[in-house]
Amino acid sequence: MSEAEDVAGEPKQETHNIKRLKPRQRACDVLNEKGRHCFGNLKRWYDYPGDVEALVGAKKEVYRCEFCRTIYTPDLFDAPNSFTLRY
């Protein structure tokens, strides 16, 4: 039995925690069960699965925490990091 299957043999339904990025945010701010912040680095997620694509949209700029796997979408008022030149 794989890790993605539950006891009955059916695949687990994965729920995604999706949040909006704050301006210039680079670390995760989710609280764990002990009340402490995760502080995992937010990594750009290029090849996300279809169920995430259905939630956030196709070809969007998506970030994911390296520890708790929380998904972050960019701030609507911030300039996108894709296809921009920064010197």
Per-position DSSP letters for 19-81, written without gaps between them: EEPPTT--B---B-TTS-B--PBEEE--S--HHHHHHH-TT---EEETTT--EEE--TTSPPS
pLDDT of amino acid 30: 94
Q: pLDDT confidence of 4, banded at 50, 70, 90?
A: low
For the stretch 40-49, pLDDT in tens is 999 999 999 9
Q: In the structure encoding, which two tokens stand for residue 69, read together?
A: 């796997």
User: How far from the centroid of its chain's Cα atoms is residue 42's Cα?
Assistant: 8
> For the whole model, what pTM was predicted?
0.73
* CA atoms of 46 and 44, how far apart (whole Å): 6
Report the Cα 1 to chain-centroid distance in Å: 27
